[in-house]
């Protein structure tokens, strides 16, 4: 079924399955736009841990067990297996199979959101989960990242019974997705070497990813970050004492911006993280941006060090007990 | 057509808005509002984002008046105004030197205090002082000498960014860190408990006069960045709920501060009125926000001004002052 971007597919699926209080499992962190949809339908989003290979099956099992014990209805697992937004990581093939098994045995639907899959750098991402399970997976695709987001054209590939319901829901939501955009895209796919165009994008983004990773290594060697094999994003972890959200206006003042990690959690986590996007700026701008970011981060760490260990006493000593010179003589 | 007559000398105005700062959006809204008001008054207005092509453009087009609607550094610290002076084109608002003095909060406080206006007790410290003298001892000295509640703010900067109210002295170190991330000098000021007001001061040729005070009542108790730019976060009372003598004294203090700092045309003075009715000077803005929700337009509307008329008068005054 064609949708108004995969964003609309997220909305339709959530509308169809979620009653207020139902659980949606999502990676930790997860896509901000999806979290917004889940929140709008009052879903209870429960994050499941990830590592460099994506969602961790063991954590998924534990989370499901805990939720089931608490009697919580789990409706679906929302996952971005390829070149994750915002984490940049990719779910390994072995884990895909394991996660499908877990979900199947607990009767949990998988919502596989894959807008970045074709934008790999060195080698293609593993096959879609949908390719081995056409009963338990709704797969979402989009032209937003491979052609242009402005067309607002995406698609959902759903098990038959769900598909019927999605079509009805889509009709009542928008009557029909933008057909002009679909004609243009059809023409584009017929008449141009669109695969070649995607190859051009892949090389462009790979170069930018390289620029970002090498600049991070050079300017911020003490931080840690993910190493994306495709897509747009690097996920950076800051030292504990920093707060990415509080730091953002200071970064903007230095003419560099990022998305604070808190946007990608439904439960207030993410202060220690930031999402950096390398898709738009040139490699030179990326270097400049990371250098500026380093100025902000190092400045903040330096200040925190200056003021650490200052445990001021309360109640304040009375004036007569002041032995230090008054500050205005400093 | 009821387009009002515009003097010969005032045909074209270039409004500068945008710029690269966290106040960019506010500036764009201010600029658009000024531009719309002037256009409705029959003036031909051009809205420009300052960039590398600006100066060439201005010296080519030579508008009758430039209206800088840029908030934050460069717009308010005098840097851009210095350049406009060099271009020798009339502009609305304070000159570079006055703007520079007003932008630096400790300097502005000192000048205003010298003119006999109250301003809360404070101390200003550079980041270097902490490094050299050791943060722990300096902080303890501040704590000993300045009882809470305190307000910690960057010495230069706008929109309350980096500002913290310290009610418990244990929060002072963190507040210093937050302020120093915006500016290498930090002002630690005694917090006066009272009614927060903003008073617009305008001068269209007959000397500076105060607009009705706008009383600010933030929902969270603190008029910070969020409270400033999100609808519903703050309640305003125009005119402020002050009795007449207190209101008159506050208005006089605002005009006196504007004059003491050598400001011209337009400013907004932020004051706190304590329980005894004394007005305490906090800071002044040489380019107050002029968006549809900003304080000065609120006050202008309350006082019955037509914005287009007033903004044209200010532009005209800029021309007169430039000739003088
Ligand atoms: C993971 C993910 N899903 C969905 C979307 C929305 O895509 P569309 O433009 O197709 O609605 C995005 C866009 O940022 C995304 O990153």
Q: Which residues contact B255 (CB under 8 A, 6 or more apart)?
A: B201, B208, B209, B210
DSSP H helical segments within chain B, as ranges? 24-40, 54-61, 79-87, 96-103, 105-114, 127-133, 135-145, 172-180, 225-229, 244-260, 295-302, 307-323
Higher pLDDT, residue B134 or A319: B134
Question: Residue A326 pLDDT > 50, yes or no?
Answer: no
- Hey, of B51, B126, B142, B145, which one would you mutate to test binding to chain A, going by the most A CBs within 10 A of its CB? B145
d(CA B253, CA B210): 9
Q: Phi first, then psi: give them for residue B33, nearest 5 degrees.
A: -65, -45
Give me the residue from B141, B147, B148 closest to A327, CB to CB. B141
User: Do you find a cis peptide bond into B149, omega within 30 degrees of 0?
Assistant: yes
pLDDT given at position A324? 36
| Structure confidence by residue, pLDDT tens digits, B28-41 | 999 999 999 999 99
Question: Residue A246 pLDDT > 70, yes or no?
Answer: yes
Rounded average pLDDT over B268-291: 96
| Structure confidence by residue, pLDDT tens digits, B60-93 | 999 999 999 998 777 788 888 999 999 999 999 9
Q: Answer yes or no: is the C-beta of A219 below 6 A from any ligand 1 atom.
A: no
Cβ–Cβ below 8 Å for A306 and B130: yes
> Ligand 1 pocket: which of A81, A125, A144 to mutate (most atoms <8 Å of CB)?
A144
Rounded average pLDDT over A173-182: 93
What tokens appear for B20 in the block? 């690269």
Minimum mean pLDDT among A52-61, A229-238, B220-229: which range?
A: B220-229
| Structure confidence by residue, pLDDT tens digits, A217-229 | 999 999 999 999 9
Nearest to B177 by CA among B189, B191, B163: B163
Rounded average pLDDT over B270-298: 95
**CA–CA distances in Å: residue A145 to residues A10, A151, A158:** 16, 11, 21
Interface check for A328 against chain B (CB to CB < 8 A): the answer is: yes
pLDDT given at position B166? 95
d(CA A64, CA A59): 9
pLDDT given at position B229? 64
DSSP string, A187-250: HHHHHS-HHHHHHHHHHHHHHHHHHHHHHHHHH-TTSEE---SBSSEEEEE--TT--HHHHHHH
Whether the Cβ atoms of residue A294 and residue B107 lie closer than 8 Å to each other: no
Evaluated on CA atoms B22, B25, B30, B32, the torsion sign reads positive
Model confidence band, residue B230 (pLDDT cutoffs 50, 70, 90) = low
What tokens appear for B120 in the block? 């809360």
pTM for the full predicted model: 0.81
Ramachandran assignment for A272, one of left (phi > 0), alpha (psi -120 to 50 degrees), beta (any other): alpha
Ligand 1 geometric centre to CA of B97 (Å): 50
User: Do you find a cis peptide bond into B196, omega within 30 degrees of 0?
Assistant: no
Model confidence band, residue A118 (pLDDT cutoffs 50, 70, 90) = very high
Higher pLDDT, residue A77 or B228: A77
User: Taking the CA of residue B52 as centre, how many other CA atoms within 13 Å lie in the half-sphere pointing to its CB?
Assistant: 0
Question: Residue B163 pLDDT > 50, yes or no?
Answer: yes
Rounded average pLDDT over A154-167: 96
d(CA A260, CA A272): 8
**CA–CA distances in Å: residue B319 to residues A196, B30, B42, B90:** 60, 21, 17, 5
The strand order across the sheet containing A233-237 reads A224-225, A233-237, A273-277, A259-260
Minimum mean pLDDT among A306-310, B204-208, B216-220, B313-317: which range?
A: A306-310
Cβ-count burial B261-287 (b if 16+ within 10 Å, e if not): bebbbbbbbbbbbeeeebbbbbbbbbb
Residues of A with CB below 8 A from B138's CB? 327, 330
pLDDT given at position A328? 34
């Amino acid at each position: 079924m064609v949708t108004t971007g995969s964003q609309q597919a997220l909305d339709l699926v959530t509308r169809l399955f979620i009653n207020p209080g139902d659980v949606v499992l999502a990676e930790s962190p997860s896509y901000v736009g999806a979290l917004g949809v889940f929140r709008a339908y009052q879903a209870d989003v429960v994050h499941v841990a990830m590592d460099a290979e994506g969602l961790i099956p063991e954590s998924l099992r534990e989370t499901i067990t805990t939720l089931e014990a608490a009697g919580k209805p789990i409706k679906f697992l929302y996952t971005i297996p390829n070149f994750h937004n915002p984490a940049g990581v990719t779910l390994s093939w072995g884990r895909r199979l394991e996660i499908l098994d877990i979900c199947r045995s607990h009767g949990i639907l998988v919502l596989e959101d894959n807008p970045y899959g074709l934008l790999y750098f060195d080698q293609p991402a593993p096959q879609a989960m949908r390719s081995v399970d056409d009963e338990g997976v709704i797969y979402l695709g989009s032209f937003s990242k491979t052609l242009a987001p402005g067309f607002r054209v995406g698609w959902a590939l759903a098990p038959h019974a769900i598909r019927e319901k999605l079509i009805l829901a889509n009709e009542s939501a928008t009557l029909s997705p933008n057909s002009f955009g679909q004609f243009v895209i059809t023409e584009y796919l017929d008449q141009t070497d669109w695969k070649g165009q995607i190859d051009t994008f892949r090389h462009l983004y790979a170069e930018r990813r390289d620029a970002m990773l090498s600049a991070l290594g050079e300017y911020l060697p003490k931080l840690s970050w993910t190493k994306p094999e495709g897509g747009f994003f690097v996920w950076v972890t800051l030292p504990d004492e920093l707060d990415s959200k509080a730091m953002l206006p200071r970064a903007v003042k230095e003419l560099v911006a990022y998305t604070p990690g808190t946007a990608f959690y439904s439960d207030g986590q993410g202060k220690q993280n930031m999402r950096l996007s390398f898709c738009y700026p040139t490699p030179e701008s990326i270097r400049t941006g990371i250098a500026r970011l380093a100025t902000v981060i190092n400045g903040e760490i330096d200040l925190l060090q200056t003021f650490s260990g200052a445990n001021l006493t309360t109640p304040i000593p009375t004036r007569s007990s002041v032995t230090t010179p008054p500050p205005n003589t400093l | 057509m009821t387009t009002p007559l515009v003097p010969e000398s005032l045909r074209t105005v270039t409004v500068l808005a945008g710029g690269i700062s966290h106040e960019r959006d506010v500036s764009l809204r201010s600029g658009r509002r000024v531009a719309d008001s002037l256009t409705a008054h029959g003036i031909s207005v051009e809205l420009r984002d300052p960039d590398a092509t600006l100066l060439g453009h201005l010296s080519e087009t030579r508008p009758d008046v430039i209206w800088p609607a840029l908030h934050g550094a460069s717009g308010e610290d005098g840097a851009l105004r210095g350049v406009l002076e060099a271009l020798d084109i009339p502009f609305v608002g304070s000159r570079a030197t006055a703007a520079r003095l007003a932008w630096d909060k400790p300097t502005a406080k000192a000048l205003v205090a010298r003119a006999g206006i109250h301003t809360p007790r404070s101390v200003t410290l550079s980041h270097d002082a902490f490094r050299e003298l050791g943060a722990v001892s300096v902080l303890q000295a501040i704590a000993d000498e300045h009882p809470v509640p305190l307000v910690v703010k960057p010495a230069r900067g706008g929109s309350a960014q980096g500002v913290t109210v310290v009610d418990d002295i244990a929060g002072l170190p963190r507040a210093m860190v937050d302020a120093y991330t915006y500016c290498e000098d930090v002002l630690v000021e005694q917090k006066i408990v009272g009614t927060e007001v903003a008073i617009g001061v305008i001068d269209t040729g007959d000397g500076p006069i105060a607009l009705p005070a706008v009383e600010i009542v933030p929902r969270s108790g603190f008029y910070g960045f969020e409270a400033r730019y999100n609808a519903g976060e703050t309640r305003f009372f125009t005119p402020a709920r002050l009795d007449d003598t207190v209101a008159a004294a506050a208005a006089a203090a605002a005009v006196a501060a504007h004059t003491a700092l050598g400001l011209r045309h337009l400013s907004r003075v932020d004051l706190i009125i304590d329980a005894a009715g004394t007005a305490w000077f906090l800071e002044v803005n040489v380019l107050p926000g002029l968006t549809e929700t900003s304080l000065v337009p609120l006050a202008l509307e309350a006082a019955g001004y037509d914005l287009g008329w007033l903004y044209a008068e200010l532009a005209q005054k800029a021309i007169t002052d430039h000739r003088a």
